[in-house]
Amino acid sequence: MTRLYNAAVNAEAAYLFRHALLRDAAYDIQLPSNRARLHALAFYLIEQAFGGRAPEPPALDNPEPPAWTRHETDAIAAELAHQAGLGQAVDATLGAAHVRYTYRAAEYADRAYHTEAAIRLWKQLAALTGGAQRAEALKRAGTLERDQGQSEAAELDLAESVKLHRQAASEALLSMALTALGNLLRLTGRSTQAESVFDEALAVALRCAHSRALVLVRSNVAILYRTTGRMSQAEQAYEHALQAYRSNGDVRGEGLVLGNLAVVYQETGRVDQAEQALLAALRIHEQTGNRRAAAVLTSNLANMFHASGRREQALETSARALQQCRELGDQRSEAFALETRAVILAGVEDHAGAEQAHLRALEIAGEVGDRRLAGIIRSNLASVLVRTERLEQARRAVDLAVEDSQAVGDRRGVGVATGQRARILSLEGRFEEADAEYRRAIEINRQVQDIRFEALHMCDHGLCMLSLSRLDDARQSWRDGMRTLRSLRYAAEVESKLQAMLIACKAAGVPSLDAETP
């Protein structure tokens, strides 16, 4: 039976091979004009079979494009574009059809998250158009390349888009292209350059009084403020952007800003507001089909579950977020989801799994050029290395984390890494050095309004001062930090700091530092 089956399979493969050879041979012997006629005929037959000519899509260079109208041909628009392109040599009317269906194919692939196909099709469209339309096609390609971690290609395409928009003198579109370029610069660690580009984008949007361009740049500037530790400015910019999106009826934009506001609320200690904003943003992304943003927020939700001690929910949600990011092929988001999962795994004492996830996230962050994320990952990796008693490796990880964070202007990251360095010094018995380092970390935490890490570092600093026999200072620092952690309802961290304090006090022969623990 097996032999008969194999023979049948081999016969089928041989038939398909011979059929392909005969098809190609028959095609090759045709004159070029006959080939073009065959392609033109194929175009008209396929188009007719799928509902006839698709409507003209919205002008690519319209800064206020109307809603996209779907058509039955969208699923095979790439094939129609291919046939029209090869058939236009004998039918001049197919030139316009070639552009139309290339545009529709690019939009269809983009909306379906077929990212590599979408990048290729947007670039094909750019080659078929000129001026502001070419600039917009390149901006669409560059934005997707950025999300895929193809930073060099993205920068080339976005810079060319900005150049073409300057020549075309479309100020609203120029502002949006500058915003896209600024976002890439921010993501690749060039915060100073990004802010300069955002400043120009804002000036152009204000000059042309274009509301959509204005809210787009302001919401992206808010992200820059947050990632460089300017939390009050970030929150104010987000609030303005949220109001503008709601006034314009832009539900998708509202969801994006709410998700970012949730991060600000969490990092500044407003846990209830953070979870409410995050869940509201997730609902919007699910309703509008924004799968990429939903995947990122699902990872944020897993982090919230972890912080509040909901471990099973955190593990399940982080696994779902990671799967969503991988399905989308979004490397930067995958690295973020991996890092979130690594922290959660460390919290349930799966140090081997955590380390593996940290290292893979770090590898991807390097591939996509996200040095800010790399700094965050190295700080978190250092915690795993400390817990597994590899202090020398932990110190190297922290030193690199500080370098990464300083290079991209991430003051929050510098504060976190400085606290990690203090912890290592304390474990090595270098308590005077650790004391000074904790003070530096806490000062930075306060400057950037990082309430969570300020509280964590105050608890750790209290134990450091206990080792220096400064009992009153130790008690005050530890209690202040614990009071904040309890108010934030960070259950896992409260338990961890409480246990560490009880062990340290027993070793020192002193009563508990906690007013609530006898």
Q: Cα separations (Å) of 389 from 64, 69, 386, 496?
A: 58, 60, 5, 17
Q: Going by C-beta distance under 8 Å and a sequence separation of 6 or more, which residues neighbour residue 53? A: 47, 73, 97
Residue 56 CA to residue 78 CA, distance in Å, equals 15
For the entire predicted model, the pTM comes to: 0.73
- Contact indicator for 491, 499 with CB cutoff of 8 Å: no
Residue 514 CA to residue 494 CA, distance in Å, equals 11
Q: Tell me, what's the pLDDT at 491?
A: 81
Q: Going by C-beta distance under 8 Å and a sequence separation of 6 or more, which residues neighbour residue 179? A: 197, 198, 201, 213, 216, 217, 220
Per-residue pLDDT tens over the stretch 351-371:
999 999 999 999 999 888 888
Residue 178 CA to residue 201 CA, distance in Å, equals 5
> What single-letter amino acid sits at 496?
S
Q: Tell me, what's the pLDDT at 142?
A: 95
Q: Tell me, what's the pLDDT at 49?
A: 87
Residue 305 CA to residue 243 CA, distance in Å, equals 28
Residue 45 CA to residue 52 CA, distance in Å, equals 9
Q: Going by C-beta distance under 8 Å and a sequence separation of 6 or more, which residues neighbour residue 483? A: none
C-alpha radius of gyration, the chain, whole number? 28
Residue 387 CA to residue 391 CA, distance in Å, equals 9
Q: Tell me, what's the pLDDT at 518?
A: 53
210: which 2 tokens?
């274009």
Classified as helix, coil or strand, 130 is coil
Residue 297: exposure state from Cβ atoms within 10 A (0-12, 13-18, ≥19): buried
Residue 196 CA to residue 90 CA, distance in Å, equals 50
Residue 470 CA to residue 464 CA, distance in Å, equals 9
Q: Tell me, what's the pLDDT at 147?
A: 79
CA dihedral (61, 66, 67, 68) positive or negative: negative
- Contact indicator for 130, 163 with CB cutoff of 8 Å: no
Please state the length of the chain: 518
Q: Tell me, what's the pLDDT at 321?
A: 94
Spatial CA neighbour of 401 closest among 384, 414, 386: 414
Residue 157 CA to residue 466 CA, distance in Å, equals 57
Q: Going by C-beta distance under 8 Å and a sequence separation of 6 or more, which residues neighbour residue 503? A: none
Low-confidence stretches of the chain (pLDDT < 50) are 1-20, 23
* Phi-psi map region of 54: left, alpha, beta (phi>0 left; psi -120 to 50 alpha): beta
